[in-house]
Amino acid sequence: MPLRQSSLPQRIRLFEMAPRDGLQNEPGAMVPTETKIELIHRLAKAGIRHIEAASFVSPKWVPQMGDAVEVMRGIRREPGVVYSALTPNLQGLENALAAGIDEVAVFGAASESFSQKNINCSIAESLKRFEPVLSRAQEADVRVRGYVSCVLGCPYEGDIAPQSVAQVARALHDMGCYEISLGDTIGVGTPLAAKRMIEAVGHEVPVDQLAAHFHDTYGMAIANLYAVMEEGVSVIDAATAGLGGCPYAKGASGNVATEDVLYLLEGLGIETGINLEAVLETGYWITSQLGRKPGSKVALARGGCPK
Amino acid sequence: MPLRQSSLPQRIRLFEMAPRDGLQNEPGAMVPTETKIELIHRLAKAGIRHIEAASFVSPKWVPQMGDAVEVMRGIRREPGVVYSALTPNLQGLENALAAGIDEVAVFGAASESFSQKNINCSIAESLKRFEPVLSRAQEADVRVRGYVSCVLGCPYEGDIAPQSVAQVARALHDMGCYEISLGDTIGVGTPLAAKRMIEAVGHEVPVDQLAAHFHDTYGMAIANLYAVMEEGVSVIDAATAGLGGCPYAKGASGNVATEDVLYLLEGLGIETGINLEAVLETGYWITSQLGRKPGSKVALARGGCPK
């Protein structure tokens, strides 16, 4: 039986989520601004070239990200590293631009109920709100990334049709987003569902402009990433130490751990330019600051293993 | 881009490892015999049709399994369920036969150093020792399963050549083992390495006589199972609640959790005849007995999640 020819990408670009999606969803105390800055420095030093550093939302809604300006002003910019931030509205974008952000992001949902409960408006309304953000960003010559959540399932609606994901992805792409990050927000997807979703979205947006943003809540993220790389996806979102947890399941995993993604990619012979050992060190350091264990299986295996 | 035609099996046979490989490697107190018996009853009731129930080794080496006879005598046999046990030598086999075992297993390694350190003899010597076990089992009309450990890496030697795995698998098959279970003992494998290993072994032993016994130490087991199912493997070893841990990395995962495997298979539309909900209940129950949390991500997600 001949080994099926692998069609995996030669190189993957990894987009690091720990400072924003990660720390925003860590239960417990607020993380000091200097810890966030140190985390971002360490990630850049490990070779990561895309870091979501902050969120410019109202601190009324997300107090954990209330120091976005201080974080952005505090970091020492590493040449070649893109520091991005979430900017859900024009006010957030103006603040982000003033703080010298490199790139911004807007976020929609593939599920109508999730959109209503999470951002208090319909999918169509959310897309409409992004229009002025996109035009202002273009004017400022700042790239915009689009997130779509609930691409493989919704905590309120259950299954989500791949076609619904494709429509929202297409709308964000048409609006000018340079890349669409497809989020399995509650981590319920499995490999064939992930492949089918990418196939549907790939009809509307070129696959090299898609990113996989998979959560590991049900332990499927690594398998799903392997499956969508077979479909040509070459950008992966992940969070060092699996920071963030899952707001929909206490004690469960959220973001797939950067360490585990890098271990997978090294095993597959795929280049990233990132030093796994340095990311492991960063994961041990940030989780010791937070008083928890890393959510990366590679980190747990290495931590207790002489080899 | 059309979705690649999936070549996944329609049905998977799951071989449950929790009562033996799981409980043998749980740190801490000895598990009472009645708890083992109750675990085996619950697993059979959940629809599992292959259960490794005990190990007939000297209690000097593995005191946790010293009650193998009592366990085998204590269980109420469910029709259609195969109860198996490890029998490393003739003495163990005789005891297992006396206790009314349905099926037995012998275990070799694909790594010379691991064989020396784990069973105190070379690979060739270990195979020689199995010959009388195999002939006596055939005489008693009891099937023998063969395990090969370290198929994707060794804690002492590092990488293991697929050809070494193929040779040991072939020897066990030639000797009369009806199925060869290929163990990633330290959980270091990644999907393409797993595929290549199956390809090499598949040249020597028909792929429908191979089982994947993958540990999740580095978080890769689910992805590796998906990859080897694409190569035609249709038997999977797993342990409810991921019982067992990893003797080579304190605090790390061992056996892939049955719950997570079943979740994957359900998502892929592959039949098993096993009730995931009943396995989840069993996992919550046995881990509450052991005073630990389930090592299954599906269990953790469900445990904290209303859906």
pLDDT of residue B61: 78
pLDDT of residue A118: 86
Contact A170, A205 (CB under 8 A): yes
pLDDT of residue B205: 98
Strand partners, B61: none
- Of A201-205, B63-67, B190-194, the one with minimum mean pLDDT is B63-67
Interval B209-250: pLDDT, tens:
999 999 999 999 999 999 999 999 999 999 999 998 777 777
b/e sequence B51-79, b meaning 16+ C-beta within 10 Å = bbbbbbbeeeebebbbbbbebbeebeebe
**Set of chain A residues whose Cβ sits within 8 Å of the Cβ of B242:** none
**Set of chain B residues whose Cβ sits within 8 Å of the Cβ of A204:** none
Min Cα separation A150/chain B (Å): 15
pLDDT of residue B252: 80
Q: Is the pLDDT of residue B263 over 80?
A: yes
Distance, CA of A280 to CA of A275 (rounded, Å): 9
pLDDT of residue B118: 86
Mean pLDDT by 10 residues, chain A (307 residues): 65 96 80 96 98 90 86 96 96 96 96 91 95 97 97 95 98 98 97 98 98 97 98 98 83 91 98 98 95 94 60
Residue numbers of A annotated as active site: 246
Distances (CA, A) of B222 to B58, B187, B190, B218: 33, 11, 10, 11
Region B70-82: mean pLDDT is 96
A296 touching B (Cβ < 8 Å): yes
Distance, CA of A188 to CA of A176 (rounded, Å): 29
Q: Give me the half-sphere count of Cα atoms (radius 13 Å) on the Cβ side of residue A105.
A: 26
pLDDT of residue A29: 66
pLDDT of residue A107: 93
**Contact pairs from chain A to chain B, CB under 8 Å:** 163
pLDDT of residue B70: 94
Which of the 8 DSSP states describes residue A158? B
**Set of chain A residues whose Cβ sits within 8 Å of the Cβ of B218:** 260, 263, 297-298, 301
pLDDT of residue A167: 98
Contact A155, B302 (CB under 8 A): no
- Other Cβ atoms closer than 10 A to B33: 16
ipTM summary value? 0.94
B260 touching A (Cβ < 8 Å): yes
> What single string gives the DSSP state of each residue in A271-302?
B----HHHHHHHHHHHHHHHTS--S-HHHHHH
pLDDT of residue B29: 66
* Nearest C-alpha in A relative to B204: A1
pLDDT of residue B220: 98
pLDDT of residue A252: 80
pLDDT of residue A306: 35
Look up residue B22 and give its amino acid.
G
**Nearby residues of A46 by Cβ (< 8 Å), 6 or more positions away:** A274, A275, A278, A279, A282
Q: Which of A155, A218, A304 sits opposite B249 (nearest CB)?
A: A304
Interval B84-142: pLDDT, tens:
999 999 999 999 999 999 999 999 999 999 999 988 899 999 999 999 999 999 999 99
Look up residue A26 and give its amino acid.
E
> What single string gives the DSSP state of each residue in B206-243?
-GGGEEEEEB-TTS-HHHHHHHHHHTT--EEEEBGGGT
Angle, CA of A159, A161 and A162, to the nearest 5°: 125
Q: Do B252 and A3 touch (CB under 8 A)?
A: no
Mutate to test the interface with B, among A111, A117, A190 (most CBs of B within 10 A): A190
pLDDT of residue A14: 98
Q: What percent of chain B has pLDDT over 90?
A: 84
List, in order of start, the domains of chain A with CATH numbers: 13-301 (3.20.20.70)
Q: Do B219 and A3 touch (CB under 8 A)?
A: no
pLDDT of residue A172: 98
B195 touching A (Cβ < 8 Å): yes
Q: Do B218 and A297 touch (CB under 8 A)?
A: yes
- Of A123-137, A178-192, B59-73, B165-179, the one with minimum mean pLDDT is B59-73
- Please, where are the H alpha helices in chain B? 23-24, 33-45, 68-74, 90-98, 112-119, 123-139, 162-175, 191-202, 221-230, 258-267, 276-290, 297-303
pLDDT of residue A4: 43
Contact B300, A249 (CB under 8 A): yes
Look up residue B216 and give its amino acid.
D
Region B68-86: mean pLDDT is 96
Top-confidence residue, B23 or A233: A233
